Structure 1
Amino acid sequence: MGCAWLDAYFWTNETFCSAIMTANGKLEKNAKSDSSIATLDEAMMLTGFGIYNILHMLLSGLILMGVIMQSLVMGYVMPAAQCDLELTLTQRGWLAAIPFLAIILTSYFWGWLADTRGRRFVMLFSMMISAVFSVLASLAPDIISFGLLSFCSSIFMSGPSAVVYTFLGEFTNLRHRDKMVAFGSSFVGIGTVVLPAISWLILPLEFSLPVPFLGIAYRPWRLLIVACTLPFILGTLFLLIAPESPKFLNASGQSEECLVVLRKIYAVNRRLPEDTYPVKTLVSEAHNTKPKDSKGLAAIFASMRDQTAPLFRSPLLPWTCLTCFVQFGIFATTNGFYIWFPTILNSLANHEGAETRICDVLDANQANKASASNGTLIKCDDTMNTATFEMSIYTGLVFCSMYIMVGFLVDFLGKKLILVVLLASTGLCGIAAHHASNQQLAVALFAIFQMCGACIGLTNAVTVELFPTKYRAMAVCLSMMMGRVGSMVGSNLIGLFLTVNCGASFYLFGAIVIVCSLCCLTLPAKKNAPSLEKQKTEVTQHQTHEPV
């Protein structure tokens, strides 16, 4: 998804160019009647909408599900692995933050690589290596090797974490892009259902297989890590038969390769032979995205600088700041709380006595642990209450439903209205969850509070369409990197607040989400995608607009 006004502008500007360009690139007025020459957006409209787009959305959704499962699996692994790895509470917190740290450090590089080498190449390479390191991490004998291998896996997992949104959006025409990115993003919600469901199936198992040469016992939590790599493995296999993004191909000067992809989409969607596709020549949008011949780190950093500098200059700077801040706030809230979600639900499930507020239960838990630690040695207990998995699944279902609702509503309401209303309402629910004394109501409000995560896909779609093709992947990766910074900051702050001042965490992050809602008011209003029959031909001078 994204801001339709900007793509409408590109459509207008490109339409004007195609109306005066001939195949050899010379200006002629009579070229306007030549329907075989088109801009990429016009050519995408002619491919139609159908089976191909749906299959591509499902592939992108599978990759997104793998990203979310790899990012959040530590929340379920740590309680089950605390005895085998002899983890303290502090070590558990840092291990859970490893995926976010890896993304913070490397997503910038992956964005540059996606803009210069291609979206498909980055995802194929990174998902395969990430799955291998995850399998190795499941065999780690101690906390140091486990942390290092998990970090290596997360470095490569950060490749598809942001590139996939660009990959998804660039295969769909303007008229249906918002809807398809929203539906693809719903797999993030599906991942939050599948993860606790798989954990519920695997973690209660009671096997312990000795592996003498590693000095470990292979227990269920190790199998859970391997199980969470399955979406990446399947995604890699399917991606082998998928083409590169037509947007990237056209922007890098590979017009013929781009036409091959468009013909294939056209043939599948319209059930017609490829040679009946009317577009024979694309208006060039080449941006010289290939890296220069010079090699070495200096050349790489120079290329990254050239790719990034425009994002921090007018007219793109305001949009860079907006998308980065909104992603920071959303990730800090939804991922920050989700890391501690199993712990919070486990405490509520084990609570006995009169109903009281969430923070009162957590404070009582901390007091009991403190008093118990002053006595005799406590036996390590790595079991989890099954009610924790059950409530996590219910929350994930609500999360998934929110994504699907957004997918249906985005075409009618527009991204701006949905972002403003959804962020404001979830922020208020977060503050209200702290005051609810009924546990069912408190959990429901707390679950709705985390639904602000449904805006991640919307914000990425906004980013895709706010920025020109040459900088899209870099802009998305930069905003996602700031989001992961928010995840790290949020998870550590929430862990601290749950110990010293539980209520402050709900007030602080509820307020941050509300501020993000107010920031989204500066986004342009909804505009409908232009039709092939009615296209404007005014020439404009700039490729972006200033915030309103």
Structure 2
Amino acid sequence: MLDALPLSSFQVWSVLMIAATVILDGLDNQMLGLAAPSLIKEWGMGRQVLGTVFALGFVGMAIGTLASGWLSDRFGRRNALIFGVGLFGIATFATGFSQSLVQIAAFKMLAGIGLGGVPGTATAMIAEFTPVRWRSVAVTFGVVCVSIGGIIGGVAASLILPGLGWRWLFYIGGAITLLFGMVLYRFLPESPRFLAERPERQHELSAMLRRIGHPTPDRIQLAQAAGQAPAAFVPMRTLVQTPLLRDSVALSVAMLSGMFMIYLMFNWAPTLLVSLDFTLPTASLGLTAFNLGGTIGAMLASFAIIRFGSRVPLIAMALVGTAACATLALLPIAGGRNESALLAGLCALGLFASAAQSAMFAVGAHAFPTAVRGRGLGLMGAFGRLGAILSAFSGSWLIGVGNFGFFGVLSILMLVNAIGFFAVRGHVPRVSPADARVTRRETYA
């Protein structure tokens, strides 16, 4: 039904609300990385110890990713999303009161459980709110909001850290997240496609279709729905059986390598740049440049996917990302040199490599059917968290070998990323001109 209808203002506002949760996810997710140089200086801790804290956060995120996928398929996308936002909002705010590294680690792990489930659940929900001709753009926009959150965080950190200190970064971020969680609880609707598979909730679907603009929502229903039993719960093992096995493996491998790259940048890039004698504001702006490139690139990729499908654009972006990493590995930046070239390279890395990871969620939302979409995206996300955990433990060592080792390893992983994209069978097809020209008049006729 939604594929045949024009995109309504109700759907746009719903997608924007969901996307805002991903902005907060990106903002809160990067706070510890932005605060890391200040923590190292104030508490005199080693980078290896901080790497363990990052890893515990990623363990929490892996737990949250899988749990949220199950919750969203079983109890609804809305409930899983609000739970995740509330949990990481509380943990982020509480981090500002920490008096020891143990407390920071505990709150980071708790925040990770909430943070881990938000991108996958939000992706599934956005995909289920939008017609097919806009789906790749909407899903990519939702995921790229992680980078938008990072941009906001990088700018905020450059303003807050020098004057107020690292605690206020967590106070402000946590408070904003909790306030928005209340807005979600009051206004966020459930996914229409989730409701469509539950005959006992057809009255909610009819009311939603009326708001979207369907001319006769009561008649559609749901003649078939009367007397139908609720849809059977599809087991998780479906994801590792034919015909979904190949896509599950390929997308998981691509996600692992891509998230290693992204979280190595989020958590360790500022510390790397400070160790190479760049100032703290420059280190924050370096991460901002990476996120800015990722935001622009992901949106351009979403339109490329509409025009060409997802296979060629994503493989090409991963390969160009490989080249960008190799360039940054060879760039002489020790001693704070070549700052402009460094920022341009980080922006290019975001424009291609980071953007490809954001657009990958559109592929997952297409490849996995509704009954297992939440858990399929959760499986991808869990492998992504594994990549993040590996990046947390290896980050301190990679910083020790300078930008050559740091970005050299990333160039290899981006090549693996491209191979994963190549292996995927369920890529998003190009949208035909006929699909793109569907109008309200044609639909109603």
- The TM-score bracket by the shorter chain reads 0.7 to 0.9
Alpha carbons of structure 1 residues 140 and 532: separation in structure 2 relative to 1, 3 Å = closer
What is the match of residue 341 of structure 1?
269
The percent of aligned pairs where both chains have the same amino acid is 18
What's the TM-score, normalizing by structure 2? 0.87
Residue-pair matches, total: 424
What is the match of residue 189 of structure 2?
243
The answer to whether residue 328 in structure 2 is matched with residue 433 in structure 1 is yes
Which aligned segments of 4 or more residues in structure 1 are displaced greater than 6 angstroms? none
What is the match of residue 167 of structure 1?
125
* Residue 52 (structure 2) aligned to one of 91, 94, 117: 94
Hey, what's the Cα distance between the residues in 1 that align with 2:232 and 2:28? 30
What is the match of residue 408 of structure 2?
507
Alpha carbons of structure 1 residues 247 and 432: separation in structure 2 relative to 1, 3 Å = same
Bigger helix share: 2
Alpha carbons of structure 1 residues 176 and 227: separation in structure 2 relative to 1, 3 Å = same
Residues 252 and 288 in structure 1, CA contact (< 8 A), matched pair in contact too: yes
What is the match of residue 443 of structure 2?
none
What is the match of residue 146 of structure 2?
188
Structure 1 range deviating more: 491-500 or 132-141:
491-500
* Residue 487 (structure 1) aligned to one of 384, 388, 395: 388
What is the match of residue 169 of structure 2?
224
Hey, what's the Cα distance between the residues in 2 that align with 1:139 and 1:399? 32
Alpha carbons of structure 1 residues 106 and 45: separation in structure 2 relative to 1, 3 Å = closer
Residues 53 and 171 in structure 1, CA contact (< 8 A), matched pair in contact too: yes
* Residue 526 (structure 1) aligned to one of 415, 429, 441: 429
Task: Give the superposition deviation at 1:309.
Answer: 0.8
Hey, what's the Cα distance between the residues in 2 that align with 1:264 and 1:193? 34
AA aligned opposite 1:510: S
Question: Which SS does the other structure have where 2:385 is aligned?
Answer: helix
Hey, what's the Cα distance between the residues in 2 that align with 1:517 and 1:492? 24
AA aligned opposite 1:151: M
* Residue 255 (structure 1) aligned to one of 199, 202, 210: 202
AA aligned opposite 2:197: A
* Residue 155 (structure 2) aligned to one of 168, 178, 197: 197
For residues 127-526 of structure 1, the aligned pairs below 5 Å read: 127-206=85-164, 220-230=165-175, 232-240=177-185, 241-253=187-199, 254-266=201-213, 277=217, 280-282=220-222, 288=231, 307-350=235-278, 385-437=280-332, 439=338, 440-451=340-351, 452-500=353-401, 503-522=404-423, 523=425, 524=427, 526=429
Hey, what's the Cα distance between the residues in 2 that align with 1:203 and 1:442? 22
Give 5+ residue unaligned stretches, structure 2. 439-445
Task: Give the superposition deviation at 1:532.
Answer: 11
Residues 64 and 187 in structure 1, CA contact (< 8 A), matched pair in contact too: yes
Question: Which SS does the other structure have where 2:190 is aligned?
Answer: coil
Q: What is the CA deviation profile of residues 394-430 of structure 1, one whole-angstrom value per residue up to 9, with x for unaligned ones?
A: 3332222212222333321222122011111011111
Question: Which SS does the other structure have where 2:129 is aligned?
Answer: coil
Question: Which SS does the other structure have where 1:204 is aligned?
Answer: helix
For residues 54-93 of structure 1, the aligned pairs below 5 Å read: 54-93=12-51
Task: Give the superposition deviation at 1:307.
Answer: 2.5
Residues 72 and 374 in structure 2, CA contact (< 8 A), matched pair in contact too: yes
Task: Give the superposition deviation at 1:344.
Answer: 2.4
Q: What is the CA deviation profile of residues 245-299 of structure 1, one whole-angstrom value per residue up to 9, with x for unaligned ones?
A: 0111112333332222122122xxxxxxx76558522466976356xxxxxxxxx
Q: What is the CA deviation profile of residues 114-155 of structure 1, one whole-angstrom value per residue up to 9, with x for unaligned ones?
A: 110001011112322321222222112212122212222221
Alpha carbons of structure 1 residues 349 and 61: separation in structure 2 relative to 1, 3 Å = farther
Residues 66 and 229 in structure 1, CA contact (< 8 A), matched pair in contact too: no
AA aligned opposite 1:416: R
Hey, what's the Cα distance between the residues in 2 that align with 1:476 and 1:124? 18
Question: Which SS does the other structure have where 2:332 is aligned?
Answer: coil
Task: Give the superposition deviation at 1:57.
Answer: 2.5
Aligned-pair Cα RMSD in Å: 2.7
Residues 332 and 483 in structure 1, CA contact (< 8 A), matched pair in contact too: yes
Question: Which SS does the other structure have where 1:407 is aligned?
Answer: helix
Task: Give the superposition deviation at 1:329.
Answer: 0.9
AA aligned opposite 1:238: V
AA aligned opposite 1:202: I
Alpha carbons of structure 1 residues 188 and 532: separation in structure 2 relative to 1, 3 Å = closer
Task: Give the superposition deviation at 1:90.
Answer: 1.6
* Structure having the higher Rg: 1
Give 5+ residue unaligned stretches, structure 1. 1-42, 207-219, 267-273, 291-305, 351-383, 535-548
Residues 103 and 158 in structure 1, CA contact (< 8 A), matched pair in contact too: yes
Alpha carbons of structure 1 residues 487 and 129: separation in structure 2 relative to 1, 3 Å = closer
